[in-house]
Amino acid sequence: MTPSVTPPPADYARLRAQLDTLATEAFRPELAEIDRLPTLDIAKIMNGEDATVPAAVAAELPRIAAAIDATAERMARGGRLVYAGAGTAGRLGILDASECPPTFNTAPTEVVGLIAGGPPAMVTAVEGAEDSKELAAADLDALDLRAEDTVVGISASGRTPYAIGAVEHARAAGALTIGLSCNPDSALAAASEHGIEVVVGPELLTGSTRLKAGTAQKLVLNMLSTITMIRLGKTYGNLMVDVRASNEKLRARSRRIVALATGAADAEIEAALAATGGEVKNAILVILGGVDGPAAARLLAESGGHLRAALHASMA
């Protein structure tokens, strides 16, 4: 039975006091007249604000790297990467998850995004959904959460019940937990094994955390998924050798990747791709390792999909 998402009667004075303590919710009196400025001036201010985000991310790089290594170790054992958040945070998780299949040839079930309120919440706010820890637990149970999985709770404030409930439920199940927030000393970080707090400060528009906080979350999620996939052998150098060629642009990119990796002539590239069913990684191994298509598939399977290891084995 799906738990109710109707919030209980709220102590609004208490909630307001909580918001007053959050850096991301702070009011900036120096911007109180921003609506009276010329458009170019507003754009310059906003651009200057955005420029501070990478430095805030840089301060968390050791914690980000540790979370990535732990995630890659779980995924190498068959685990999944699951993002869970509400509102903007949930949408960013779904966006990152949806980019993994075409970029890294992952199955849609390997990297998953959950948003409080379900798919309708991608475009319409679902009243009370973010306030329910129980809803987060039910969403994870629907995925048949396992100990090999990694759950990333995402919340700009670091206090969203849905995100906290997700990591609490996942941790109780033995899964790896990561909490990504944009305020210091957050409840989300405290509930997680790996707390990442990218403190970006007050927003240009008071409380509009789709701005700097959203940018910071996007940058960190880029790192989490991309570097995890690098660790899992989904790339060869900086080439996307597991790219899924699902349209003409990606088929052209596949040929270009094989060319960049091997320096082979067009005819040899076409023959290698034909021999491997269009699989970029396999085609590169055919050319550089001097093996046929079936041998390339076997070597890659034996190396856990790592092209460099398969190449080394082909030359042994």
- Does 127 share its domain with 266? no
Is 130 an active-site residue? Answer: yes
Percent of the chain surpassing pLDDT 90: 79
* Residue 59 lies inside a defined structural domain of this protein: yes
* Structural domain of 292: 248-314
Cβ atoms < 10 Å from Cβ of 312: 13
- Does 152 share its domain with 289? no
Answer left, alpha or beta for residue 263, where phi above 0 means left and psi between -120 and 50 means alpha. Answer: left
The pTM for the full model equals 0.89
Q: Which DSSP string corresponds to the chain?
A: -PPP-PPPPP-HHHHHHHHHT-GGG---GGGTTGGGS-HHHHHHHHHHHHTTHHHHHHTTHHHHHHHHHHHHHHHHTT--EEEEESHHHHHHHHHHHHHHHHHH---TTTEEEEETT-GGGGTS--TTGGG-HHHHHHHHHHTT--TT-EEEEE-SSS--HHHHHHHHHHHHTT-EEEEEESSTT-HHHHHSSEEEE----S-SSTT-TTTHHHHHHHHHHHHHHHHHHHHTT--BTTB-TT----SHHHHHHHHHHHHHHH---HHHHHHHHHHTTT-HHHHHHHHHHT--HHHHHHHHHHTTT-HHHHHHHHT-
Q: pLDDT at position 244, please?
A: 73
Q: pLDDT at position 1, please?
A: 46
Q: pLDDT at position 247, please?
A: 82
Least trusted range by pLDDT, from 11-25, 90-104, 185-199, 259-273 = 11-25
pLDDT of 16 higher than 80: no
Of the candidates 25, 130, 168, 197, the residue annotated as catalytic is 130
* Residue 140 lies inside a defined structural domain of this protein: yes
Mean pLDDT value across residues 204-219: 93
Q: Which of 174, 196, 231 represents a domain boundary (last residue)? A: 231
- Does 135 share its domain with 38? yes
- Does 131 share its domain with 40? yes
Q: pLDDT at position 13, please?
A: 60
- Does 178 share its domain with 65? yes
- Does 225 share its domain with 266? no
* Residue 147 lies inside a defined structural domain of this protein: yes
* Residue 2 lies inside a defined structural domain of this protein: no
What lies within 8 Å, CB to CB, of 28 at 6+ separation is 202, 204, 206
Return the CATH number at 98.
3.40.50.10490
Q: Which of 203, 231, 259 represents a domain boundary (last residue)? A: 231
Of the candidates 73, 99, 134, 268, the residue annotated as catalytic is 99
Q: pLDDT at position 208, please?
A: 87
Mean pLDDT value across residues 172-186: 97
The total number of structural domains that make up the chain: 2
**How does pLDDT run across 281-308, given as a tens digit for each residue?**
999 999 999 999 999 999 999 999 999 9
Return the CATH number at 302.
1.10.8.1080
**How does pLDDT run across 57-105, given as a tens digit for each residue?**
999 999 999 999 999 999 999 999 999 999 999 999 999 999 999 899 9
- Does 203 share its domain with 273? no
* Residue 37 lies inside a defined structural domain of this protein: yes
Mean pLDDT value across residues 225-236: 97
Is 279 an active-site residue? Answer: no
* Residue 272 lies inside a defined structural domain of this protein: yes
Q: 154 forms bridges with which residues in the sheet?
A: 85, 180
pLDDT band at 249 (very low <50, low <70, confident <90, very high): confident
Mean pLDDT value across residues 230-238: 95
pLDDT of 199 higher than 80: yes
Q: pLDDT at position 129, please?
A: 77
Percent of the chain surpassing pLDDT 70: 93
Q: pLDDT at position 197, please?
A: 98
- Does 211 share its domain with 277? no
pLDDT of 115 higher than 90: yes
- Does 197 share its domain with 92? yes
pLDDT band at 224 (very low <50, low <70, confident <90, very high): very high
* Residue 143 lies inside a defined structural domain of this protein: yes
* Residue 1 lies inside a defined structural domain of this protein: no
The mean of the pLDDT values for the chain is 92
Mean pLDDT value across residues 165-190: 97
- Does 214 share its domain with 255? no
- Does 68 share its domain with 200? yes
Q: Which of 204, 231, 258 represents a domain boundary (last residue)? A: 231
Mean pLDDT value across residues 15-28: 71
- Does 21 share its domain with 52? yes
pLDDT of 36 higher than 80: yes
